[in-house]
Amino acid sequence: MSNTLKVGLIGCGNVVNYGHRPALTTLPDVELVALADITPARRAIGADWFNLDDGQLYADYRDLLAIDEIEAVVIAVPQKFRPPIVLDAFAAGKHVLSEKPISNVPAVADQLARAAAEADLKMAMVHNYHFLPEYRQIKQLLAAGAIGDIRVATLHFLGVIDYPGAAEYQADWRHTMAAGGGVLMDMIHAVYLAEWLVGAEAQQVMAFVDAPEYAQRGPVIEDLALLQVAFPSAYAVIHMGWGEGVGGADISGSEGQIRMRYKQYQSGGFNQPIELYSIDSDWQRTDHAIANLEEHLDNTARSFIELWADFRDAIRHDREPIAPAAAGARALQIVLGAYASAVTGRVVSLPLDEASPVYRKGIDGMVDLKAWAESKTKAAGLFGLRE
Ligand SMILES: NC(=O)c1ccc[n+]([C@@H]2O[C@H](COP(=O)([O-])OP(=O)(O)OC[C@H]3O[C@@H](n4cnc5c(N)ncnc54)[C@H](O)[C@@H]3O)[C@@H](O)[C@H]2O)c1
C-alpha cells in the first residue's frame, strides 16, 4: 500500500488559497484527490489551483465522503455549517482536519471530540499559529527558562484586518451572528496561543466585548474583545479588535520579560514580526533573531505546511496532533466564557457548566443570561441583546 495520504477538501474559500493550497501542493506523501464546494465558481477556482478534472469536483460533500481511497478530509466551510459535515466524515471513516473555531456551540464541540474518539479517528484543528516562527520561538524561550516561570502573557491583536469571505460565496458571513462571526470568534488564535504559552488549562475568564467600529455601520457584530484569563499559576491578557491598533506580545516571567513586535506595531497573522528580545533579572537585554523568518505570506503558508505534516504524522503514527479536538473545544469555551462575562459583568469559571445556556447554545444562549444593566455588550445590542 502506498504511504501517500489521499485527502478530500470540503469548502474551497480564501483560507484554502493562502493556507491549505501551499500545503497540499508541496507536502510529500499527501495528495488532494477530490474537492467539494457548493459554489460552482469556487469549484472552478479549486480545479485550477489543484489541477483537478471535472470528475474530481463535487457539489455535495457526501459524494466526496463516499470515495474509498480518501483517508482524510479538510473541512474549511464557515463554522456554522461544519459540525454535521465533521460527523458525516467520521461516519464515513475519514480523519478530519477542521478549520477553527471547532463549532459555535460548546456542547457540539464536545460531541465532535467524542465522535472522533468513538470512531478511533483523528480530529485535528487548524491552530496554525503554533507554527508561526515568532510564537514558536517565544515558546522555545519559555521552555528554555529564559524568563523563569511565566507569570502574565499579554497578547495584543488590536489591528486585526477584517478580511471578507470569498466574493463568489457570501463575502459578509463573518458579520452575521448566525454564522458565528465577530473578531474574537474568528481570531480564536490568540486564545489557544495563550493556553499553549502558559502550558496549562484556563480556569476563569473576564472580559469587555463591544462593537465600536461596526456599531454605526451594521449589522452589529463584536469587533472589540478585552479579556483576562486565569490559569492555575499564571494569567493571560488578550486584546483583540478589528481596525487599527497595536499588535505583538509581552510576556512577564519570574526572572525576566519577553517582548515581540510586528512591523508598524501591527497584529499577528497580518504582518512581519521584526523584533523579539528578552530581558533577564539583571535587566540585561538579549535580541533574538527570529528563526526561519520569511515574508509574512510565506510564514503563513509555512505554518500550514507544518500543520499538515503534523496531521499526516498523527495519522501515520497513531498519535495526537498538536491541536486535537479537545484543544478546539477549550478555546471555544474561553471565547464564549468571555462573552458571558461581558454580558453578566461577572468572572466566568471554566470549563463552562454543562447545564448553562451558553454551553448548550453558544451565542444564542446569551439572551438567557441575567445581563448586567450597565453591560457595554448589552448597550451595543450584541448577541441579540437589546436595551
Ligand atoms: N486558520 C486560519 O488562519 C483561518 C483563516 C481564515 C479563515 N479560517 C476559517 O476557515 C473557514 C472558512 O473561512 P474562509 O475565509 O475561507 O471563508 P470563505 O467565505 O472564503 O470560504 C468558504 C467556502 O465554503 C464554501 N461552502 C459553504 N458551505 C459549504 C458546504 N455546505 N459544502 C461545501 N462548501 C461550502 C463556500 O462556497 C466557500 O467557497 C472559517 O471557519 C474560518 O474561520 C481560518
Task: Please indicate whether residue 324, judged by its CB atom, sits closer than 6 Å to ligand 1.
Answer: no
Q: Which residue has the higher pLDDT, 221 or 238?
A: 238
Predicted local distance difference test score (pLDDT) of residue 217: 56
Please name the helix (run of DSSP H) or strand (run of DSSP E) that holds residue 75, with its range, or none. Answer: strand 72-75
Is the pLDDT score of 386 beyond 80? no
- For the stretch 342-376, pLDDT in tens is 999 999 999 999 999 999 999 999 999 999 999 99
What is the pTM assigned to this prediction? 0.96
* 42 Cα nearest atom in ligand 1: 39
* 79 Cα nearest atom in ligand 1: 41
* β-strand pairing of 57-58 with 30-36: parallel
Residue to mutate (ligand 1; options 14, 16, 108, 161; most atoms within 8 A of CB): 14
Is the pLDDT score of 291 beyond 80? no
Is the pLDDT score of 265 beyond 80? yes
Is the pLDDT score of 387 beyond 70? no
Residues contacting residue 150 through CB under 8 Å, at least 6 positions apart: 142, 197, 198, 199, 234, 251, 252, 253
- CB-based burial of residue 75 (10 Å sphere; 0-12 exposed, 13-18 middle, 19+ buried)? buried
Task: Please indicate whether residue 183, judged by its CB atom, sits closer than 6 Å to ligand 1.
Answer: no
Residue to mutate (ligand 1; options 9, 10, 15; most atoms within 8 A of CB): 15
The alpha carbon of 13 and the centre of ligand 1 are apart by a number of angstroms equal to 5
- For the stretch 89-139, pLDDT in tens is 999 999 999 999 999 999 999 999 999 999 999 999 999 999 999 999 999
Taken in order of first residue, the domains within the chain and their CATH numbers are 5-128+301-323 (3.40.50.720), 129-294 (3.30.360.10)
Predicted local distance difference test score (pLDDT) of residue 268: 85
Residue to mutate (ligand 1; options 169, 189, 192, 221; most atoms within 8 A of CB): 169
What are the distances in angstroms from CA 53 to CA 27, 33, 34, 68, 320?
A: 21, 10, 9, 18, 34
